[in-house]
Chain A
Amino acid sequence: MESLNDAEVQLARLKKRLDREQRARAESEAIAEKALSELYTKKKEIELLQLITVAANEASTVDDAMRTALEGVCAHTRWPVGHVHLKDSAGTLLSTSLWHLDNPERYESFRKATEAMTFAPSIGLPGRVLEERKPAWIADVTKDVNFPRSKVAQDAGLRAGFAFPVLAGEEVVAVVEFFSDEPAEPDDAVLTIMAHVGSQLGRVIERRRAEDALKLASQHKSQFLANMSHELRTPLNAIIGITEMLQEDARESNREDEFEPLDRVVRAARHLLAVINDILDLSKIEAGKMELHVGSFAIAPVVQDVVNTIGTLAAKNQNSLRLECSPEIGFMCADQTRIRQALLNLVSNAAKFTENGTITVSASRAVAETGEWIVISVSDTGIGLTAEQKGRLFQDFVQADASTTRKYGGTGLGLAISRRFCQMMGGDITVESEPGRGSTFTIRLPADETPSQAPVPPQGPSLTTRATESHRAPLILVIDDDDAVRKVTTHFLAREGFAVTTASGGREGLRLARELQPAAITLDIMMPDLDGWTVLAAIKGDPATAGIPVVLMTIVDEKNRGYSLGAADYMVKPVDWSGLAGVLRGICKSAGRGVLVVDDDDTMRSGLRRALHEEGWQVTEAENGRVALARLAESRPDVIVIDLMMPEMDGFELLGALRSNVAWREIPVLVLTAKDLTDDDRARLNGGIERVLQKRGRQELLSEVLDVLDRCIKRRRAESVAVP
């Protein structure tokens, strides 16, 4: 009986104990579940913060970062409405277009009401946050006394709300607010995390401000450089011009001992000018002020011309220069001057850094998914580049290494500038290289808007009388943005017997100059689209127009600058009309008298140039037959003077080429040679030439040349008048 009792007591105790254990277990589970749920919330908070941090670091704009924050916070809290207010300079919050709305239609009226409001410090939820610079929570906005939007919030079914400041340093720059569709008591965890979100977003704004300040400083620096370069160029041009005059004098009075030092001054000054031009170019690009003059042009002559220009430099290091460019490559639409500059830079670099090697320039057309590309590559067998040098190659102001500068000279800017130009035109310059084996630089540019054939020149303005229509009325192109000036100039020049065509701006002027090849151009300086200086530089920089004399007509009295840029004359407005007519008549005396002098002897060429110039001829020069063909492709001279013995392509070959081309066959040729012609030579010349002159005493020869040329032209003129 007693043992039964004991057993019952024992059982009761065990039951009690089991019951205790079960309760303890239930409690443990509850604790674990709560801990897990807290862990989950923490994880979500960390994810939100991570999202915001990444957005803060990577978003390209402040708006993007804000938008990410709105989405992230709304997803985290499952609240349907989020909005950003930005503080203006007066310290008031302005509504922005940055919203998160789960249901835009439902919250339409709330959005409109918000966007119509501004919040001063301490007014409403955003104002309170602005004032206190910390997050705030309203459990139910419809019952809050400081919530001006309570009515419209109630209509939209919005109840709880919180907002946090976006702090840049100590300053509130924006306030972000969120609303729930049910009332909710403040959640400290949410408010804490929102304070973090706010400071992350603030960093985006701080960073953006710093970047803007930096950019502005950089632009100021570039602007300063541009101004300084300009200030430097003006006197430098004077130095060059005056020294060249002194050289001329020295030459004329045979003071031989002065040539060399004067030549050194000119060369040093030109080098300095080139350096300054590089700096000016780069700072213009940096300041975003570099403009491209895009037009359609034939590619082959440009490439050929660059190769010709570099010929001497390449020969100096015993390099052979090869050109692979088919004339079928056709046209492209880009800034010709800049492409020429970039290519010139690449080829001259190749020539500098290669000795006893081969430089190959090849141009081709490539079709890719992205459209048609023009690919021009310059390969050399020179010193090449290490991977490290390659990395620094395109950086501004950096040459492959410092010793390179000492050995090879240069500013180290050329490549960086060339690349920027190509990038501005939608392309790039890339390099492949192996140290000791050589380098290949490749320019890739979109062929863009390229007509399949040569562009058809548009019909000229109605006033135009084509130069070709009348030899007696030389065509003058008047470029001026002022309608009245154009009319008056046209009137006076027509009365003086000129044919006149007009252009109302620089771009149109450049186009007409290329298409119409006028006898002369009058050019205004102050024009809205392209100023006259730029137009003048472009005219003189384009071989197709470089020979056209330009008279500047402007109220800006900067004669020296005009002359240094290649202007033929300078008229200050108001223009003396008869004076202008006189100037133009002087210029046009030589109109239609173009002569191409082909001779490898530098002295001979310059002697002829000066003599012919004085007599009003426009002289183009070529140092061999190949170059002559390139010049001929650019513009057709009235007469050609050819030396027979030349490197690369001699006079005989050139004559052969001339005869086989219909366009050139009729051009009178004067052969000038130091060679005693054999019968065989005479047979090869086979008539077809105006006259053969033996090189001997200079003055004698020159006057003889002039005589023959004059006769040529007179006969031509007579013919062209006779033939209707």
Chain B
Amino acid sequence: MKKNNFWLYFALFIITIIGGFLRLYKITQNPPSLTGDEISFGYSAYSILKTGRDEYGKFMPLVFQSVGDYKNPVPAYLMVPSIKIFGLNDFAIRFPNALLGTISIPIFFFFLLDILKNKRIALLGSIFLSLSAWHIFYSRFSYETLMASLFVLLGIWGFIKMFNGNLVWAFVSAFFFTLTMYTAFAPRLFIPAFILGVLIVNIRNVKKNLRNLSVFAFTCLILGLPLLYVTLFQGAGTRLQMVLISNDIEFSRHILLKYFNSISDLPMLFFFWLKRYISYLNPGLLFFNGLDATQPNPIGLGVLYIFEIPFFIAGIIEFIKNKIPNKNIFIVWALTGILPDSLTNNQQHAGRLLHLFPLLIMISAMGAISIYHQLKKVKIKLVRTIYFLLYSIFILIVLIHAYLIIWVNFPRDKSESFDEGWREAVQYMIVNQDKYKEIVIDPARGIDGPNMISNPFLYVLFYTKYDPLTYQDEKKIYSESSDYYFEFNKYTFRHINWPADKNSKETLFIGSPWSLAKENLNDGELLEIINLTNGSPAFYIVTPK
């Protein structure tokens, strides 16, 4: 190893350690609670570990039915070894994601080094990724699109190498691209669009690489066939139908002024989609508040930091001006990367854009290097130093703001949407459940109203470490109607109707203040109050006297 390279790799090691620290530090405390998705993945993984089957008794499934949203298999299977090592707890659930987020840093470095052949850009890119609030935020809880983003990076890297003539990379690329599709939903649209786009813009190279491409296509087909099967025949396509843009409220309520229900509305849908698509160049999303980590606020955290704006602009100019290897592949990456999120019925979502992180951060790093070169041209050293110092101070201020948002504002503002309170409520229940014949838990909650419906049975299964084999085999009662009702063992999950329920002796009730209003409770009935980080009551734990 050359001396120069030693320091380069040493720097990379330090950057990775810092990145790992930022992703793992107090990971179980912030975000403040496991989300419904994390809990569901976690218990499925636990069930697989103990029985080889999911909670519905399906042997090693390729799609997890979960609560009817048919989840992807990779996140659950990645949790299996983690649960084996650390046990069934919050850390074990979040660890695989944080680990993949951390590993992304050196992999991104080597990707940049290999593709751009520029050590400075590679190193700066890895620093930006290591400190990226966007990447850190989604690394700190189990988030399938973050996992997929690493596989996308590896797949595209392999794809570029394959185009340069190496057959082995055809297998590598095909493997990671397919793995990506087993990991998250967004890449299922992105990957085919990306491959098609690259083939179109590289049509001249297709003939030269026909052998590699055939191997690539064949490998993809073989590895992807099971996914195709479960998508078509085992409900894995359900999620896709649920989130399609045609169900968007803005589209139906404000544009069509009725529900989308005929082919004649398709042209309007097309232009609505186009609006969504073009909107991804929104500076708010990119730099100011795209992360949605606080209450609605013009100045929050974006996909990139505010101090990266000049870098990003300079990077785009550099990208346009200079000869960049595989430039057209990067352009196709950008254009197709937006596609999945633009086709969904929700607001723009920074998380669903994670497979674009290598591209955005690469441009930012290129721009920073370009600005550095411009700065070096300033002849007076003092002026140069002042520029440098002032901008460094600005960067520091922005990083402090980011720290405060993630560690102070986010837990206060968003804890409710992260289902905070269930863990504490269930832990109280575990300690006291022997005193009661029945435990009734209301799934509806919310500060402003009982508008959020969770799946508390998953929290009960998870935190009680409920034996998966028992759960798979035992009798469960659930409602076929739209009313939430689910019952197993002595746990019942339904809406609490206190005037009627207050006569149920030896029963423990867990519900929000909306279903268990304080003024309706007699002295001694209220056993415990579970608060959110911001102090609002999330749950009351009550037993009739």
Answer yes or no: are A and B bound together in one complex: no
Q: Which residues of B contact A (CB under 8 A)?
A: none
Contacts from A to B (Cβ < 8 Å)? none
